[in-house]
Amino acid sequence: MRNTPRASWPLKLAAGAGLAFMLAPLALIFLYAFSTEEKTYQWPPPGLTLEWLAVSWQRPDVWKALTLSVQVATISTAIALVLGTLCAAAVSGSRFFGRETISLLVILPIALPGIITGIALRSAFSLMEIPFSFWTIVLGHATFCIVVVYNNAVARLRRTSGSMIEAAMDLGADKFQTFRHVILPNIATALLAGGMLAFALSFDEVIVTTFTAGQQQTLPLWMLEELIRPRQRPVTNVVAMVVVVVTLLPILAAFYLSRGGEQSVAGMGK
């Protein structure tokens, strides 16, 4: 194992400054979630209280928006896991004309600005006379959730040894058995990591949801409306704090799962 050189103190200072710049706004959200001031932002806050946690807990509109966001994220992630995995297996497992073009088209929804994707989806739903509802939000979110799962699965499949698949075929396994008993166990952590990232992206999506929601209101849309027409500003900060935690945990878990998966694949190759 090689010893990597330590970073110099200017580099550490620059990294610390960058982290502080990114995380300071989040720290303010956490701080103002406990502020005693209801309508304005004062610095420093005039006082701190836990009262807004109880107020947020008793707001039915918060629970309704939260439930909708969790349901949309869960179903979108499930769709992405199925379609993203199958697409990755098709692209990685065989060579055919137009393979790279198909791969580019799969990745395109997350590469385009969200407003372009939102306008395109809204136009498509309108042309097909599909009423905007819970399912149009799910379809909109699935378009970019598939990309996350696809990228993770393709990266892992390309590092999976082809000899194991060939050995399974030689021993009489059909394609489904090979996928179930050989390929799937090797890409399981990548799929789990991709699913967690997809859930986090869907949970806090705003732009695409705005164009596909109709009268539905997910938690990010509720927060946006509360910022424009605030009733109890600290409640918005409490909800934002919850969103940060709910989004951060799957991302951290996905990071560690991906890292563990890379180490296991590397170990198999030795």
Residue 9 has pLDDT above 80, yes or no: no
265 Cβ contact list (under 8 Å, min separation 6): 156, 159, 160, 186
Digit-coded pLDDT (tens) for 145-161: 888 888 888 877 777 66
Q: Dump pLDDT digits (tens) for 205-247.
A: 888 888 888 788 888 888 887 777 666 677 777 888 877 777 7
Query: Confidence band (pLDDT; 50, 70, 90) for 268?
Result: very low
Q: 77 φ, ψ to 5°?
A: -65, -40
Which domains are present in the chain?
Answer: 72-269 (1.10.3720.10)
Q: In this predicted structure, what is the pLDDT of residue 79?
A: 92
* CA–CA dist 196, 218 (Å, integer): 19
pLDDT digits (tens, 9 = 90+) for 98-125: 667 777 777 777 777 888 888 888 888 8
Phi, psi dihedral angles at 232 (to 5 degrees): -135, 90
pLDDT class of 78 with cuts at 50, 70, 90: very high
Residue 48 bridge partners (DSSP) = 35
* C-beta separation of 47 from 234 below 8 A: no
Per-residue pLDDT for 139 more than 80?
yes
Where does residue 47 rank: exposed (0-12), middle (13-18), buried (19+ CB within 10 A)?
Answer: exposed
Q: Is 62 in contact with 225 (CB distance < 8 Å)?
A: no
